[in-house]
Amino acid sequence: NGASVFSTSSPDTLAAQRAKLAQRLSIEAELREALLAGHLRLAYQPIMDIASGQLHGVEALVRWRKPDGEMIAPDVFIPIAEQSDLIIDIGRWVMRQALRDLASLQGGALARLKVHVNMAASEFVSGALPDTLRFMSDELALPTSQVVLELTESMLMRQPEQVSRVMHRLREIGFEISLDDFGMGHSSLAMLKSLPISSLKMDRSFVRDLASGERDRAIAETILDLGHHLRLEVIAEGIEDAAQLAVLQACGCRFGQGYLLGRPLPLDELVLAFPDGRPR
Ligand code: C2E
Ligand code: MG
Ligand code: MG
Ligand code: MG
């Protein structure tokens, strides 16, 4: 295709391209089987209110363990699923499972928890998403306001008008929308102004060198200011050590997620780890 003498990465040979395609197709076929066989699971990573120490929400993260025990990372299989309609089936499974899990928490200490679910671009462009989600949440008698859909900036760019229509419809029904990996993409301020977004997730690349780098701290503070002025919650991603957490708290960041605060866990383990909405 576009491989030319100007391309900076060395173009694959035909044989290498074929091998890649074969691998992609084999992962896709195995994934399709895994979905049907019930081999996908959800793990839930805590999103903490770092001002109060309370559990604020969780992010549902899909997990695939092959029958031989090998774990395949979502960074590997989600992009492959996104190249076919498989992502629609996976997205639907993830959403149904996350809503069922949220329903199972009703009546307990974690009943008010927000559940974040990652969305793929093609789920948004079809336009069927709002009705599908409304049907699922009605069936389980769940408040839609506890469900937060995570989108990335690049998704907003693909078909901005269609995506904006779907987002507004989802907001009317009551779902919340969060912008994932914020700062890595190209969303314009105009988009942030006009789209019905309720929170920003500061990409973990800005959190990483927070305690040592002047500029990283300046960027983090700028994102926090932006969120504050637009009345958006800001959730810092990828907090791994106490120094990063301390800087974020000092900057007035209200919410955080990362291995320091909690790893992704199966639902039953999460419930045990946060008996009264606080870490045990
Ligand atoms: P994401 O939505 O940005 O999710 C956060 C990722 O960062 C997760 O990786 C999480 O385990 C990891 N993480 C959390 N805290 C830390 C930390 O302190 N340090 C580091 N280094 N990493 C941390 P995971 O579970 O491997 O997921 C990777 C990506 O795959 C997600 O990035 C998301 O884009 C996608 N993904 C996961 N589950 C789903 C899903 O159900 N549907 C869709 N469409 N995409 C999904
Ligand atoms: Mg996410
Ligand atoms: Mg993220
Ligand atoms: Mg990410």
Cα–Cα distance for residue pair 102/277, rounded to 1 Å: 14
pTM, to two decimals: 0.94
pLDDT 10s digits, 242-264: 999 999 999 999 999 999 999 99
Which atom of ligand 1 approaches the CA of 260 most closely?
Answer: 18
**Best residue among 78, 150, 235, 260 to mutate for probing ligand 1, ranked by most atoms within 8 Å of CB:** 78
Confidence at 1, pLDDT banded by 50, 70, 90: very low
Protein residue closest via CA to atom 32 of ligand 1: 75
> Which token pair is 121?
């671009």
Which atom of ligand 1 approaches the CA of 201 most closely?
Answer: 3
Of 200, 232, 239, 257, nearest to 57 (Cα)?
257
Protein residue closest via CA to atom 23 of ligand 1: 238
Position 6 pLDDT exceeds 70? no
| Burial of 7 (C-beta count, 10 Å sphere; 0-12/13-18/19+) | exposed
Minimum mean pLDDT among 14-23, 110-119, 188-197, 250-259: which range? Answer: 188-197
Contacts of 200 (CB under 8 A, 6+ apart): 178, 179, 182, 223, 226, 227, 232, 233, 234, 235
